[in-house]
Structure 1
Amino acid sequence: MKAQFEKISSNKNGLHCFVYEDVEFDAPWHFHPEYELTYIVRGKGMRYVGNNIQKFEEGDFVLLGANLPHCWKNTDQHKGSVKSIVFQWNDELLGKDWAQKPEFYNINMLFKQASKGVLFNRSFSEGKLNKLMSILEKTPLDRLLSFIYLLEGLCDADNRELLTTAGFSPNLNLKANHRIDLVYDYVEKHYNNKIKLDDVSTLVSMGNEAFCRFFKKTLNKSFFTFVNEYRINLASKMLLETNKQVSQIAYDCGYESLPFFYRQFHKFMKCSPLVFKNQYTKF
């Protein structure tokens, strides 16, 4: 079975980090061009990385290389919610070819191992939870610097295990990867204007129906659901970081109809724009 391509973020040079918490780990078998470092805070089940299948539980700490298929799945024995801390970044985290510089030799060697997946042993991962959480709470610059120090510390881990076997070659749909990147860049540049299906389909050399099927199959959501999700996420950021009126934010994000903007906002954020703003600014 081919792994699904996952688009991480429009921030091409940044560090993407977050806490995932839900009733289960529901991500499909997938891959992305970004590296990933995942720490399991709560949950038990099976971890799939390349051609490796192993049990996981609290404290599972794994580094994955670019385009390495993976997923975590709960077992029926696990009761309650799951939680993980995830860091994702690409090759240009500190600029082009940064890891090739002599100062980052150890990190570069670690990244080479990450192409096979790296499992850090339990004795090393113990005590890392507080450190990982503290990185998430820092300002962007301090977070980036702390993360680089974290990577350097990972290089000192003894007895780390490589997960995939020699000769493993993932079955990836890289053409889909390229097409999704083109679509994402187009939406990023044109979100504040009317986006037409004909224009996007032509961009990736597909007919309208074929493109809609392709997009739905690749990202598990329709194209216009993706567009609205992108616009609402941007609107949410503008609500918190600017003093613009809601109507102006809606217009700036490409919405010509204010009632439609309100419906879409409630669909994705589960509340109105003003309730959302008050929730996050009352402190």
Structure 2
Amino acid sequence: MKAEYRRISPSPGSSFRTSIFEGKEFIASWHFHPQYELTYILGSSGIRYVGDNMANFEYGDLVLVGSNLPHCWKTVGEQKEEVRCVIIQWDEDLLSGWLEKEEFQYIRQMMQLASRGIHFPKDHALLVEKKMLELIDLPPFERLLSFLQILQELTKAHHNCLAGEGFTTNLTVKESERVNLIYNYVKEYYNQQITLEDIAQKIAMNKDSFCRFFRKTFRKSFFEFINEYKISLATKMLINTDLTASEIGYQVGYNNLSFFNRQFQKFVQMSPSRYRKMYRTI
């Protein structure tokens, strides 16, 4: 799949776009656009990429992405339900005049933070779910008012920035294409032994050039990225299945339980058993 600049048109009779996406999986590759984007997951699960950040998503996942910040959502594994999400997209100049006014100070601050992407807690996301779903069918003027109310409500939530401070949005189309190839390759072969030679050859680079490119883009090594990906899948399986930690470790590509436990501790700061117990007592 090819990462690309995407043109986004407003909804009919409106100055911004509201839509519901439904399908077997997300079709968008790693892409960017000048519009801000608020995405709320209603169904399906997988891994979300925003800049150099990678994390699981599921029902209730709500993320605000800033202008030209690369992002994509990818389903992983067998799905119990199809993808369904609400997407709101708007140009910066939609609010440019209002953002200078005192009443919009908190929305202004939130939109500035969106340059790194913002993830909102699930309990706060659920508070705006009904309003986001209603946006689709509201008349244009009422839709705009409701949209502003949603933004204001979100300013009350704790902001968790996603992409690192050093992440750059100035990637070329060719570099974005490489990132997409890497994402797709890891998604397909994560539970097999992947070598630097394998992945470098996939994107038509030599091993040393690939390592420099990857660390420059993601500020981590490729093997740190693979392990982070595997552990993300493992956390999901610990919550949603009754498989043992060793069975989960094997399924995500670790043949050594001790190494799986060390990697889990490194990325999650707790053991797999403690992680499972914590979520099952919530």
1:70 aligns with 2:71: yes
Query: What percentage of aligned pairs have identical amino acids?
Result: 41
TM-score of the superposition, structure 2-length normalised? 0.57
User: Within 5 Å, which residues of 2 pair with 1:226-265?
Assistant: none
2:139 equivalent in structure 1: 139
SS at match of 1:146: helix
Q: Once the 2 structures are TM-superposed, how far is the Cα of residue 93 of structure 1 from its aligned partner?
A: 1.2
1:165 equivalent in structure 2: 164
Distance 1:2 1:117, change over 3 A: farther
SS at match of 1:4: coil
| Distance of 1:59 and 1:104 partners within structure 2 | 26
| Distance of 1:23 and 1:127 partners within structure 2 | 26
Distance 1:34 1:127, change over 3 A: same
1:101 equivalent in structure 2: 101
User: Within 5 Å, which residues of 2 pair with 1:80-119?
Assistant: 80-94=81-95, 96-119=96-119
User: Within 5 Å, which residues of 2 pair with 1:6-155?
Assistant: 6-9=6-9, 14-94=15-95, 96-155=96-155
* Per-residue Cα deviation, 1:227-271 (whole angstroms, up to 9, x for no partner): xxxxxxxxxxxxxxxxxxxxxxxxxxxxxxxxxxxxxxxxxxxxx
Are the aligned partners of 2:19 and 2:87 in contact in 1 as well (CA < 8 Å)?
Answer: yes
Q: Once the 2 structures are TM-superposed, how far is the Cα of residue 79 of structure 1 from its aligned partner?
A: 3.2
Q: Once the 2 structures are TM-superposed, how far is the Cα of residue 77 of structure 1 from its aligned partner?
A: 2.8
Q: Once the 2 structures are TM-superposed, how far is the Cα of residue 173 of structure 1 from its aligned partner?
A: 4.1
TM-score of the superposition, structure 1-length normalised? 0.57
Are the aligned partners of 1:16 and 1:88 in contact in 2 as well (CA < 8 Å)?
Answer: yes
| Distance of 2:3 and 2:103 partners within structure 1 | 35
For structure 2, the residue ranges without an aligned partner over 5 or more in a row are: 174-282
SS at match of 1:5: coil
One-letter code aligned to 2:98: W
Q: How many residues of Structure 1 are paired with residues of Structure 2 in the alignment?
A: 172
2:215 equivalent in structure 1: none
2:255 equivalent in structure 1: none
SS at match of 2:94: coil
Are the aligned partners of 2:22 and 2:83 in contact in 1 as well (CA < 8 Å)?
Answer: yes
Q: Please report the RMSD computed on the Cα atoms of aligned residues, expressed in angstroms.
A: 2.2
One-letter code aligned to 1:112: Q
Are the aligned partners of 2:38 and 2:65 in contact in 1 as well (CA < 8 Å)?
Answer: yes
Are the aligned partners of 1:91 and 1:97 in contact in 2 as well (CA < 8 Å)?
Answer: no
For structure 1, the residue ranges without an aligned partner over 5 or more in a row are: 175-283
Are the aligned partners of 2:35 and 2:91 in contact in 1 as well (CA < 8 Å)?
Answer: yes
| Distance of 1:21 and 1:173 partners within structure 2 | 30
Q: Once the 2 structures are TM-superposed, how far is the Cα of residue 97 of structure 1 from its aligned partner?
A: 3.5
One-letter code aligned to 1:84: C
SS at match of 1:58: coil
Are the aligned partners of 2:20 and 2:85 in contact in 1 as well (CA < 8 Å)?
Answer: yes
One-letter code aligned to 2:4: Q
Are the aligned partners of 2:116 and 2:164 in contact in 1 as well (CA < 8 Å)?
Answer: yes
One-letter code aligned to 1:105: Q
| Distance of 1:173 and 1:90 partners within structure 2 | 22
One-letter code aligned to 1:147: F
SS at match of 1:130: helix
* Per-residue Cα deviation, 1:135-166 (whole angstroms, up to 9, x for no partner): 222100000011011111111113x2100111
SS at match of 2:165: coil
Q: Once the 2 structures are TM-superposed, how far is the Cα of residue 167 of structure 1 from its aligned partner?
A: 1.0
Q: Once the 2 structures are TM-superposed, how far is the Cα of residue 13 of structure 1 from its aligned partner?
A: 8.0
Distance 1:28 1:157, change over 3 A: same
2:271 equivalent in structure 1: none
Q: Once the 2 structures are TM-superposed, how far is the Cα of residue 45 of structure 1 from its aligned partner?
A: 0.3
Q: Once the 2 structures are TM-superposed, how far is the Cα of residue 126 of structure 1 from its aligned partner?
A: 2.2
